[in-house]
């Protein structure tokens, strides 16, 4: 009896060993694979992580812990520059007195939130409040893709209509672009005031020529174009002047013919139809004379601007930036005035 039992145990043990070996050689099903403790952890996408940080920040805002909420929102914004994150960030920054940062983030949000988005009305209201405490600077960059840094901060690109919001006081603005010389400018930001600031970058080596003369010849272009426009305006004015005087003379001749060579208005009493034609001729002549006067004035302004621009560009600073980079000269027009504006950058 003991011998039979021992034999059965030995046989069962052998069968178990064979079964284990066969299972060990079987390839595991990928669907049944379970990672061990040393496997790589699951990493959520940037949008999921940003959403989690945004949700945590909103809880902190509800608890009136805005500095902690700002830290969460800045981390979320670094992952995804979204309008909803920027709106919440500007909201908390406004409440803790970081007005310039708040205005920048709120402006970012307002520009991107839809008109029907409920967050937009709050962002607009808070942006208006923040701008009462900061200066708003609108930059006109040339070239437009230059990057801008404020008070030594890291430079970044700004959209065409994206404003800078700065705390009241003096600030240093630097514009940089590969292939161009850095342009530096100081602005005086004033609370509640908007300013337009133009920054033009000079192309690196643009004023250098082979013979070593580093002077720019932009003055020659200015002289040529200005002279052409001046002459064109004056010639056109002269043509219109002659035509206007001719029409007035024709009107006087027609009136004299009606009145038996006497130039007066007595003939109009007996022939009003003819006099209406004479009046129309006179009106056309007056209009041509007014137009010629405007062209003569325009030609005079262009002539003065041509002379001024040529002198400034030809006798400007001969530094590495060159005179063309030092002076910005451009015509200005509005409904009442025509003029020339010249500004120099040191």
For 33-66, the pLDDT digits (tens) are 334 444 555 556 778 999 999 999 999 999 999 9
Strand 194-200 versus strand 135-142 pairing type: parallel
Do 338 and 223 have their domain in common? yes
| Strand ranges across the sheet with 147-150 | 156-157, 147-150, 169-176, 183-189
CA angle, residues 134, 136, 141, in degrees to nearest 5: 145
Side-chain half-sphere of 8: how many Cα atoms within 13 Å? 5
- Average pLDDT (226-255) is 79
pLDDT value of position 22: 47
User: Which is higher by pLDDT, 203 or 249?
Assistant: 203
CATH number at residue 116: 1.25.40.10
Q: Are 164 and 107 in contact (CB under 8 A)?
A: no
Give the mean model confidence (pLDDT) for residues 73-95. Answer: 94
- The beta-carbon contacts of 291-294 under 8 Å, at least 24 apart in sequence, are 291/237, 291/240, 291/244, 292/236, 292/237, 292/238, 292/239, 292/240, 292/241, 292/244, 293/237, 294/237
Residue identified by tokens 């790589």 is: 40
Phi and psi at 84, nearest 5°, equal: -70, -35
Confidence bin at 217 (pLDDT 50/70/90): low
pLDDT of 260 reads: 56
Residues 147 and 105 occupy one common structural domain: no
Question: Is the predicted pLDDT of residue 286 greater than 90, yes or no?
Answer: no
Nearest to 158 by CA among 172, 171, 132, 177: 177
> Does residue 30 lie in a domain region?
no
**Residue that finishes a domain, picked among 172, 206, 240:** 206
The domain in which residue 238 lies consists of 218-344
Q: Are both 223 and 336 inside the same structural domain? A: yes
User: Is the pLDDT at 166 greater than 70, yes or no?
Assistant: yes
Same domain? 146 vs 260: no
Let me know whether 175 and 265 are in one domain: no
Lowest pLDDT segment from 49-58, 152-161, 185-194, 274-283: 274-283
What mean pLDDT, rounded, does the chain reach? Answer: 76
Q: Please indicate, yes or no, if residue 93 is contained in any of the structural domains.
A: yes
Residue showing tokens 């406004």: 94
Residue 196 lies in a domain: yes
Q: Please tell me the distance from the alpha carbon of residue 325 to that of residue 147, in angstroms, as a whole number.
A: 18
Minimum mean pLDDT among 11-25, 79-93, 133-147, 163-177: which range? 11-25
Least confident residue range of 111-120, 178-187, 214-223, 336-345: 336-345
Residue 327 or residue 232, greater confidence: 232
Highest mean pLDDT among 31-45, 135-149, 227-241: 135-149
- Given 206, 241, 263, the domain boundary residue is 206
Closest by CA position to 99, among listed 36, 169, 24: 169
Each as own residue / partner, the long-range contacts of residues 14-21 (CB below 8 Å, 24 or more positions apart, any chain) are none
Q: Model confidence at 321, in pLDDT bands (50, 70, 90)?
A: very low
């Amino acid at each position: 009896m003991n011998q039979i039992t021992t034999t059965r145990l030995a046989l069962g043990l052998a069968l178990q060993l064979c079964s284990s070996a066969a299972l060990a050689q079987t390839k595991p099903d990928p669907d049944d694979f379970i990672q061990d403790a040393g496997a790589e952890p699951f990493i959520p996408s940037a949008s999921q992580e940003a959403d989690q940080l945004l949700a945590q920040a909103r809880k902190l805002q509800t608890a009136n812990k805005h500095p902690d909420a700002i830290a969460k929102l800045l981390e979320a914004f670094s992952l995804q520059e979204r309008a909803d994150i920027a709106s919440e960030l500007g909201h908390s920054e406004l409440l803790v007195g970081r007005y310039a940062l708040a205005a920048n983030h709120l402006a970012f949000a307002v520009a991107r939130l839809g008109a029907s988005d409920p967050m937009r009305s709050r962002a607009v209201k808070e942006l208006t409040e923040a701008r009462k405490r900061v200066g708003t600077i609108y930059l006109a960059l040339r070239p437009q893709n230059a990057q801008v840094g404020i008070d030594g901060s890291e430079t970044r690109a700004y959209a065409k209509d994206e404003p800078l919001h700065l705390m009241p006081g003096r600030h240093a603005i630097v514009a940089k672009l590969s292939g161009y010389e850095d342009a530096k400018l100081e602005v005086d930001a004033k609370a509640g005031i908007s300013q337009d600031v133009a920054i033009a970058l000079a192309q690196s080596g643009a004023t250098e020529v082979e013979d070593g003369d580093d002077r720019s010849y932009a003055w020659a272009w200015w002289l040529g174009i200005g002279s052409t426009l001046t002459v064109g305006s004056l010639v056109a004015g002269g043509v219109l002047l002659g035509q206007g005087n001719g029409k007035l003379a024709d009107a006087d001749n027609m009136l004299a013919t009606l009145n038996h060579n006497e130039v007066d208005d007595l003939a109009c009493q007996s022939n009003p139809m003819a006099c209406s034609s004479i009046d129309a001729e006179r009106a056309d002549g007056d209009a041509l004379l007014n137009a010629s006067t405007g062209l003569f004035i325009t030609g005079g302004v262009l002539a003065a601007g041509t002379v001024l621009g040529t002198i400034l560009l030809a006798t400007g600073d001969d530094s590495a930036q060159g005179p063309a980079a030092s002076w910005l000269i451009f015509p200005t027009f509005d409904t009442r005035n025509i003029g020339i504006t010249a500004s120099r950058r040191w």
